Amino acid sequence: MGGTDAAAINNLSNLVHLCRACHGWVEANLGAASASGWKIPLGEDPAVASTVPVVDVSGQETILTDAGTRWVHVTSDDRLPTWF
């Protein structure tokens, strides 16, 4: 989530490193990216990122923490983006 000066913008739970191609996919597919946890809508409190599951490359929903760790939330193949 960019475009804000909120302090929580730099929390580890709000940061995901993407390659150029994946970043392009996220920006071109905002609805699917939001549904998969890869994009948090502008205007949303950046602190909410620690509660939003991200679908990882294995298809599991993972919660990112501000401590730089993650924990598996739920396995859900139906939310896996088509580019995985």
Spell out the domain ranges in the chain: 7-79
The neighbouring-strand residues paired with 70 are 64
DSSP state of 46: G
pLDDT score for 65: 86
Residue of higher predicted confidence among 29 and 70: 29
Model confidence over 39-60: pLDDT tens digits? Answer: 887 777 777 888 888 887 777 8
Angstrom distance (rounded) from CA 33 to CA 72: 19
